[in-house]
Structure 1
């Protein structure tokens, strides 16, 4: 069970009130974006927004072109938005147990690495707009690739394998930067305890029992799988 599942389970156990309509159920959604984190709850009966809470996120810019966020801070903010939204539902006499599922939408190419045994981040999340990997992309573009005699063909070489061009935007180049520049990450890889994923993978991490990522997020990593 992930940390988020534990939080929701706790609220469900502590809320035994009956809904005004036994037929009405609700859907929760975690919206973890670049500038804010929010949790929203919709009615499956009316499709209307019932309750929500939103918190701004903080960017860390250590150098020009670098954009990072603290993974643990993001997780705490997700938990807080869920907690406050659940309190709003309780004030409306809506049992938390009526939330039948929770979805996740998030900043997709943002890259995270963490220790699979401790669950602790090995570095800050590198945000999708971060351009520190431009030199890595150029390094690969300057390599000799069979049948790719122009820059445009080399840019599209990766696209044949995974559907994406060579661009700092995508996760694989962020991962390469982490491996080459962060000792904690390279050591964790050698010891087979490094986990890599996008923001959704981090939020629903279940200590290895059920590693997962949304298809649209995994498709933005530039990794052939």
Structure 2
């Protein structure tokens, strides 16, 4: 029996493996954290051997928990922390340096120099991205310039670059496949967004030799089969790849243009399916590939909020008014409204569409009657307001409304937050039965490529909504809330 799909969700702080059967029953979920390495202020690295070790370990534990063997696995799907940059030796497979994590800011000056030289408009037109240390290109250039012998090996075809998906496929296939998918390649600053191939002018700009690059492939196809992986038999197809946010969009079955999902984690990521043509943003959003399947590429608009769950963490750790994050909803429900209290949780500046890094958090409307419950409720509302601003920018750019707004991530389990989000957006918010949608997306992509699921419609039919939040707020009340929010944002 080979009707199970194994999904590897390789994240920033740990690796999670899910085992699903063909009916989408979750048979096992196992997570393992690994080291975070901070060589200098603003530098963040991962040891690729730590990542690989956590991957092998979680695969073995997940199969044991599911009560199945590797022979029962029909396909493996991979989703990964995006932009994190790896470089390894093609012959031995050994890393040439620690991976440079997406959070790393060591190339800030290099990015500033490229902007000052006037390169950003052309780069943005080709890639849909801005020049920023967040993305992979300047990280790769740093490795090539600072690791002894790296550039020479890269130019000679002896070194391999990849985001974490590439590295995992390389290891799973014993070096037989050096690939990435379009969604991850679109986050490197090196791929032409429309042509979906490495762009020679971008490679020259960032000093990247072509010989170091992986082959860009679709998000759902067989890239190779397992070989010499401890705990797995040889021959299992590795058949699905997508960056974590794109995988969550797919896992939420947002297959139609206009459909969107928001992942509420420490921060929040909002992606909207915009169809088969990319949409360039004038409001600070990013254009990106969502996925490529069967020769057709779907694009997305992406916006992120620096703060979501982190605002609740601040109530817990900074103010001490709650003992655990889950207490915030109970506290907030002690009052019927936040009254005139508005909290702009700009605890790390304001991201899209405001892009004000100098902004700081603001609490307005406090009086003698203000309680901890009012502040808790205003905090949840502040998170929803930030997402509303992103969503409004996205709806304007895409030129279409959200037919549905799907949510995942830890904070989506807060009913008060989700209802207020639906009220602000004036769109139904749907929370899925399985909120592990990132790994679910990777599993879907792999299962589609190997026949576990017939097509996307079969997946859509099997998608289950745990709770639907219908908008209930009257238009006049919504406008009153938004007017208070806009005044508070101006003061942030």
Give TM-score, length-normalised by structure 1. Answer: 0.79
User: Does 2:221 correspond to 1:221?
Assistant: no
Q: Distance in 1 between matches of 2:16 and 2:37?
A: 20
- Report the alpha carbon displacement of residue 118 of structure 1 after superposing the two structures with TM: 1.1
**1:26 matches 2:17:** no
CA contact (8 A) 2:3 2:73 kept: yes
Residues of 1 paired with 2:148 and 2:69: CA distance?
A: 47
**CA drift at 1:190:** 4.1
TM-aligned CA deviation for residue 72 of structure 1: 1.0
Question: How far did 1:174 drift?
Answer: 0.3
Q: Give SS of 1:103's match.
A: strand
Q: Is the 8 A contact 1:117 1:207 kept in 2?
A: no
1:175 aligns with 2:153: no
- Report the alpha carbon displacement of residue 210 of structure 1 after superposing the two structures with TM: 2.3
Contact 2:81 2:164 in 1 (8 A): yes
How does 1:1-225 map onto structure 2 within 5 Å?
Answer: 25-45=3-23, 47-90=24-67, 94-143=68-117, 145=118, 154-205=119-170, 206=173, 208-224=175-191, 225=198
After superposing the two structures, state which structure 1 stretch, 36-45 or 186-195, moved more.
Answer: 186-195
Q: Does the 8 Å contact 1:156/1:164 carry over to 2? A: no
Mark the structure with the bigger radius of gyration: 2
RMSD: 1.7
Distance 2:166 2:136 in 1: 13
How many residues get paired? 190
1:44-96 C-alpha deviation (Å, 9 max, x unpaired): 12x12111211112110000000000001110110000011122233xxx343
Deviates more, 1:180-189 or 1:29-38: 180-189
Going from structure 1 to structure 2, the CA distance change for 1:128 and 1:169 (only over 3 Å counts) comes to same
Higher strand share: 2
For 2:177 and 2:144, locate their aligned partners in 1 and report how far apart those are by CA, in whole Å.
24
Relative contact order: is structure 1 or structure 2 higher (C-alpha 8 Å, sep ≥ 6)? 1
TM-score by length of 2: 0.37
Q: Is the 8 A contact 1:116 1:207 kept in 2?
A: no
Change (3 A) 1:219 1:53: same
1:208 Cα deviation from its structure 2 partner: 4.9
Shift of 1:138: 1.1
**Regions of 4+ moved over 6 Å:** none
CA distance in 2, matches of 1:76, 1:214: 23
What are structure 2's unaligned runs of at least 5 residues?
192-197, 199-492
2:403 corresponds to: none
Residues in 2 aligned to 1:187 and 1:124: alpha-carbon distance in whole angstroms: 18
